[in-house]
Amino acid sequence: MKHFWSFLFFLVPVLGVATFVFAPHFNIWLPRDISEQGRTIDSLFMFILYLTGAVFIVTESVLFYFVWKYDGKSNEQPVLFSHGSHALELVWTIIPAVTLLFIAIYQMQAWAAIKMDPPPISYTCEVTGRQFNWDFRYPGPDNELYTLDDIVRTDGKLYLPVNEEILLKITSGDVLHSFFLPNLRVKQDVVPGMAQKMWFKGKKTGGYDIVCAELCGWGHYKMKGRVFFLPRNEYDAKLAEFSAEQNTMRVEVPEEE
């Protein structure tokens, strides 16, 4: 087939764009977003996606056009004996440089908000990653963390009040982990010996996945948790229930050998 190769290369932009166009119809896309910074991150993602998508379509189409037009079998023109063009080099240096710099600067505000300037925090709890479980510590009735009435849960279920700014203190009990909430677009590596923190506001009630995103050993795949966002009154009831449960819990002390 004439021009078979150029059409093969033309498939790249066509199917490349088609994949992204049809993926949402198969329910494969950014997961449901329930947080404030999730919206920022998604819009930045889409901004870069459209920008790079446009560059992708243009460059791949130019590649297709050249490969089609300058096919040695059909191109009757003599070869263009050119070693380059100073003007063109300037154009395709300056325009991408400005664009790239713009992308970098455009992102900084969001980065600072997510990582550097915490909003007023209304609720704090602690997460500990250990092979292969997430443990959670909540402030007890005195509403203060690291006191005697703290509630410690090891069932991998994190309960949080909805629509409140939450600060999570994250530590590791052994190796590296990464605390990843896909639906809130937050992720933080958990490093032993370092106190990490993250803040977010969950805006929808319900249960969502907690994923470990840093290789932590053979059981990495099953280091799964769930986060549940509850309305404040239900949340207080839940925590009171935990507190009561913990106070009546009998600790079996293993016999010393």
Stretch that binds other proteins, among 133-141, 143-151, 189-197, 239-247 (CB under 8 A): 189-197
Q: Where are the beta strands (DSSP E) in 139-235?
A: 151-153, 157-161, 165-172, 177-181, 186-190, 196-201, 206-212, 225-230
Q: How many Å apart are CA 73 and CA 71, to the nearest integer?
A: 5
Q: Is 79 in the site for other proteins (CB under 8 A)?
A: yes
Stretch that binds other proteins, among 80-88, 146-154, 160-168, 233-241 (CB under 8 A): 80-88
Residue 191: CB atoms within 10 Å: 17
> How many C-beta neighbours within 10 Å does residue 74 have?
10
121 binds other proteins per the rule CB under 8 A: no
On whether the CB atoms of residues 122 and 164 are closer than 8 A, the answer is yes
Q: Give residues 12-71 in contact with other proteins (rule: CB under 8 A).
A: 12, 15-16, 19-20, 23, 26-31, 37, 40-41, 44-45, 48-49, 52, 55-56, 59-60, 62-63, 66-67, 70-71
123-162: contacts with other proteins (CB under 8 A): 131
Calculate the alpha carbon distances from 246 to 103, 109, 154, 215 in Å.
50, 43, 12, 32
Of 72, 120, 251, 255, the one binding other proteins (CB under 8 A) is 72
Nearest distance from residue 132's CB to other proteins, in Å?
10
Considering the complex, what minimum distance in angstroms separates the CB of residue 107 from other proteins? Answer: 5
Residue 155 is classified by DSSP as S
Q: Please tell me whether residue 77 binds other proteins under the rule CB under 8 A.
A: yes
| Residue of 127, 158, 160, 213 interacting with other proteins (CB under 8 A) | 213
User: Distance between CA 134 and CA 159 in Å, rounded?
Assistant: 13
